[in-house]
Amino acid sequence: MNKKEIFNTDFFESGLAYILTNLDFIQEELEQEKLQTSLVEKLITDFEDVEEYETWDLLTNNLIQSKNKILEEILKIKDSTKFNLLNSYFLAKNLAIYLKSNSFLIEQINKLQMNSPDDLSEDKKEEFINNLKQEILKNNSELYKQNERLFKEIFDKKVEFKKIYQLLIKETEFEDFNYANELLFNMLNNNFKFNNKQDLLKLEVLNNAQSLIDFLTFYESSLFNNEEE
């Protein structure tokens, strides 16, 4: 499939919808807190107006470059909303990166050659989804291997966190990864204030993996809901 064809699939549209949902949440919450929203609003407009895949990498780079200014506003919030907003930014940013033309997600679409995932039979759709789940687990396993040292501080304090984290490196079941990763989020939230770079990096690693889990769960649901209709 060429780039234009990929851009027009439900697969890509599901990813775009997921990104916009997270950016909309950030915009709404910052507005309620009377904080600066113009940058987020501009990003939302740009992603809503995107019409061709050739501009995706540029939009994603703009989202990445906006990180410090967006986080600066989010970190002004002192209640639990802060944690949710940080997650939303990292989820949106990382999925946008995974939808860039050189990512393993797009490579999986390209392996279908002339077939759009939208046009596959139900059996082939299930096979496609299952293959994606395994590729995502491989990606997340490698991601967690590479970042083990980043979590040394919490490993030393929370044996349970270390145990779950290391199990996730070997996890082969998609739903089990999702459940266990949620436990890590809860433990991070209970033990860190996310007021320094290292804490934010830890949270971003978990969201990097979670963005793929959430996206595929959302896409799988829409794929088979459309089939039922």
Q: How far is Cα 3 from Cα 190, in angstroms, rounded to an integer?
A: 43
Would you say residue 225 has pLDDT above 70? no
Give the pLDDT mean for 18-46. 98
State pTM to two decimals. 0.94
Whether 154 shows a pLDDT value over 80: the answer reads yes
Structural contact between residues 59 and 46, judged by C-beta atoms closer than 8 angstroms: yes
DSSP 8-state symbol, 100: S
Tens of pLDDT along 95-128? 999 999 888 888 887 776 556 677 778 888 888 8
Q: What percent of the chain has pLDDT above 70?
A: 93
pLDDT band with cut points at 50, 70 and 90 for residue 226? low
Residue-wise pLDDT tens digits, 182-221: 999 999 999 998 989 999 999 999 999 999 999 999 999 8
Q: Residue 118: helix, strand or coil by DSSP?
A: helix
For residue 122, give the amino acid letter.
E
Q: How far is it, in rounded angstroms, from Cα 183 to Cα 147? A: 18
SS3 110: helix
The mean per-residue pLDDT over the stretch 168-191 comes to 97
Helices assigned H by DSSP within the chain: 3-7, 10-32, 38-49, 56-65, 67-74, 81-98, 104-110, 122-146, 152-157, 159-170, 174-191, 197-228
Mean pLDDT of 123-149: 94
For residue 228, the model assigns a pLDDT of: 52
pLDDT of residue 81: 93
Q: What is the band of 7 on the pLDDT scale with cuts at 50, 70, 90? A: confident
CB-neighbour burial class of residue 2 (10 A; exposed 0-12, middle 13-18, buried 19+): exposed
Q: Which residue type sits at 224?
A: F
